[in-house]
A and B are shown apart, each in its own frame.
Chain A
Amino acid sequence: ILNVEQSPQSLHVQEGDSTNFTCSFPSSNFYALHWYRWETAKSPEALFVMTLNGDEKKKGRISATLNTKEGYSYLYIKGSQPEDSATYLCALATGGTSYGKLTFGQGTILTVHP
């Protein structure tokens, strides 16, 4: 069983602060790592798909890095805004199944206070 761990479980920051959180995994045997952003009552939204060691992706104030050798991915938010408040989920796409399995972490709940 592949365990995908996210930390911290929850995070409170002030508007304007920069923040980051972690997705850890024990193996480099996967095809891709996904970051999703989920706001309550909305669909989880895909942020990034990361595939290579050293991969870096950026979308506006949000960026992510992937280190497959040491087994982690970081998600960074620069200058947090209240609208960034959401649950951030990471998931690994692994092979060995016939149905396109994604293994999810438990999520990091971010609250940005005005």
Chain B
Amino acid sequence: NAGVTQTPKFRVLKTGQSMTLLCAQDMNHEYMYWYRQDPGMGLRLIHYSVGEGTTAKGEVPDGYNVSRLKKQNFLLGLESAAPSQTSVYFCASKTVTGLAVNYNEQFFGPGTRLTVL
């Protein structure tokens, strides 16, 4: 199993450009998440999805859109990138079955390092 994978690993954008980050998981997990990691601020939740075809806003959703057309994929879009979106983006997934489901253990991808000039 590959677990959670993310593409691309690195990207540099100019202000105003758009891009899509792809997250894929092969664990048949129901829930998927997009976070951003900034120095000194921990991981902050951007958007999440509790199932195919459903998405919802997290703590810092402005400037981002998401889609979950297939259970295994969760896409994060930046329509018009801004320097404030320079960050490391992590995708994660979680199952909703099992004895430890309340522990909310999430499995992470390796991250996408995005720089917006």
Please report A residues at the B interface, Cβ cutoff 8 Å.
4, 6, 9, 31-32, 34, 36, 41-44, 46, 49, 51, 89, 91, 93, 95, 98-102, 104-107
CA distance A95 to B105 in the complex (A): 13
Q: Is the Cβ of A89 less than 8 Å from the Cβ of B43?
A: yes
Instruction: State which of A36, A51, A99, A107 has its C-beta within 8 Å of the C-beta of B50.
Output: A99
Q: Given contacts A31-B102, A102-B43, A105-B42, list 10 more A-B pairs with CB under 8 A.
A: A32-B105, A41-B110, A43-B3, A43-B108, A44-B108, A46-B105, A99-B50, A101-B104, A102-B104, A107-B42
Closest residue to B50 on the A side, CB-wise? A99
Residue among A6, A42, A89, A99 with the most chain B CB within 10 A? A99
Q: Is the Cβ of B111 less than 8 Å from the Cβ of A41?
A: yes
**Distance in Å: Cβ of A1 to nearest Cβ of chain B:** 9
Q: Is the Cβ of B40 less than 8 Å from the Cβ of A51?
A: no
10 A-B residue contacts at CB 8 Å?
Answer: A32-B105, A34-B103, A44-B90, A44-B108, A49-B103, A51-B103, A89-B43, A100-B31, A105-B42, A106-B42
Residues on A with C-beta less than 8 A from B28 are: none
Residues on A with C-beta less than 8 A from B42 are: 4, 6, 89, 104-107
CA distance A40 to B100 in the complex (A): 28
Instruction: State which of A31, A42, A101 has its C-beta within 8 Å of the C-beta of B110.
Output: A42
Q: Is the Cβ of A93 less than 8 Å from the Cβ of B104?
A: yes
Residues on B with C-beta less than 8 A from A36 are: 108
**Distance in Å: Cβ of A35 to nearest Cβ of chain B:** 11
Q: Is the Cβ of B31 less than 8 Å from the Cβ of A99?
A: yes
